[in-house]
A and B are shown apart, each in its own frame.
Chain A
Amino acid sequence: AQTVTQSQPEMSVQEAETVTLSCTYDTSESDYYLFWYKQPPSRQMILVIRQEAYKQQNATENRFSVNFQKAAKSFSLKISDSQLGDAAMYFCAYRSAGTASKLTFGTGTRLQVTL
């Protein structure tokens, strides 16, 4: 079974600074997808960014980018120019390549953004 580990329960960053959230995973599969979801206080799960395992290029979405290291099974999220609205829980998630595959989530990292 796949597992996802987020070793940072809480992180803090100053507004306009950069922060990196860590995620590692364990799998024996070669084809899969990785995601970062944001959960603000409203508790809605919002997709931030996704990475296909077969792609060597790291995904980027505006201020959000990932560092995907397939051999190390590492998938960190970098948030640049942090904004107050980035404050939330961030969950790393793994999904097998099958069409109806479930998401397996990590325990989350709570990000605080300070002035």
Chain B
Amino acid sequence: EPEVTQTPSHQVTQMGQEVILRCVPISNHLYFYWYRQILGQKVEFLVSFYNNEISEKSEIFDDQFSVERPDGSNFTLKIRSTKLEDSAMYFCASSPGLAAYEQYFGPGTRLTVT
């Protein structure tokens, strides 16, 4: 069964450094999402992406964040200058499109900012 994959599974970085989290959505999916989950808290929406542009973003998704689909298969989340409070689990999700409503989640990347 096709699945969403994410790399790396765990990333440790120093405050102020740039990180790129990578996701490979399911191949025929058209809608892509990033969510994050701070340890012990609920899952929060960051951004949705369709047709090579952002569809919606949350208040969390400020100028430090950006998303890209550089090559038609990968979907990346970049954090330009990480802060301690960016430490969280980051989930990528994808969805097929109009007639479908389920989002398929990847296994997540645990980001630790020190």
Q: State the A residues within 8 Å of B (CB).
A: 33, 35, 37, 42-47, 50, 52, 91, 93, 95, 97, 99-108
Given contacts A102-B56, A105-B43, A108-B42, contact A44 B107 (CB under 8 A): yes
Q: Is there contact, CB below 8 Å, between A43 and B45?
A: no
A38 shortest CB reach to chain B, Å: 11
Contacts of B45 in A (CB 8 A): 102-104
A50 to B41, alpha carbons, bound, how many Å?
A: 22
Q: State the B residues within 8 Å of A (CB).
A: 31, 33, 35, 37, 41-45, 48, 50, 55-56, 58, 89, 91, 93, 95, 97-98, 101-105, 107-108, 110
Contacts of B56 in A (CB 8 A): 100-102
- B43: nearest chain-A partner, CB-CB: A105
A15 shortest CB reach to chain B, Å: 26
Q: Is there contact, CB below 8 Å, between B55 and A100?
A: yes
Q: Is there contact, CB below 8 Å, between B50 and A43?
A: no
Q: Is there contact, CB below 8 Å, between B31 and A100?
A: yes
Give me 13 other A-B pairs in contact (C-beta within 8 A), A91-B42, A100-B31, A106-B42 excluded: A43-B110, A45-B43, A47-B102, A50-B102, A91-B43, A93-B43, A97-B101, A100-B48, A101-B56, A102-B33, A103-B43, A103-B103, A108-B42
